[in-house]
Amino acid sequence: MTKTDKLVRILAADIEHKDILEVACGAAGFSVSAAQIAHHVACIDLDDSRLNEQAKQSCIHFKKMDASEMSYPDNAFDTIIIYNAFSHIHSQWDMIESECKRVVKATGNIYIVGTWKLDTNLMIDIFGDHAVWHGEFLVVRITK
């Protein structure tokens, strides 16, 4: 079982049979794991050079896109995930958070998840007590 498979189990209630978006997906490992139970999986990144071959060949819909200016319509996703990418996007967080809140449904959640020290330290600094450990994952849940 991969690390992302474990995370999907933790977040299953917000992923299973739902439309999800992975922001700053990198290789899209989380998207590949989530596609096993989600209704629809989309993922975005500024660069497609690290995209996992499984993500290219599955039902995952990847788009090269800036997370601070998404082309998705309002209320398009049930759940948004940012996995091990917060250190890459934190300098634009205000704009990205605003866009995430625009494209997530009113009843949806935005999850920032980190396992790397660079991400987890920033998450603790920025979100404080809202960053909660779930085993090896530091998780911040943001509602609309």
3-143 belongs to CATH 3.40.50.300: no
Taking only the tens place, the pLDDT of each residue in 55-99 is 766 689 999 999 999 999 999 999 999 999 999 999 999 999 999
Q: What is the pLDDT of residue 57?
A: 66
Domain boundaries, the chain: 3-143
Over range 120-129, report the average pLDDT.
98
- Which two structure tokens, joined as six digits, stand for 45? 């990144």
Predicted TM-score of the model (pTM): 0.95
Taking only the tens place, the pLDDT of each residue in 90-116 is 999 999 999 999 999 999 999 999 999
- Of 24, 7, 62, 69, the closest CA to residue 40 belongs to 62
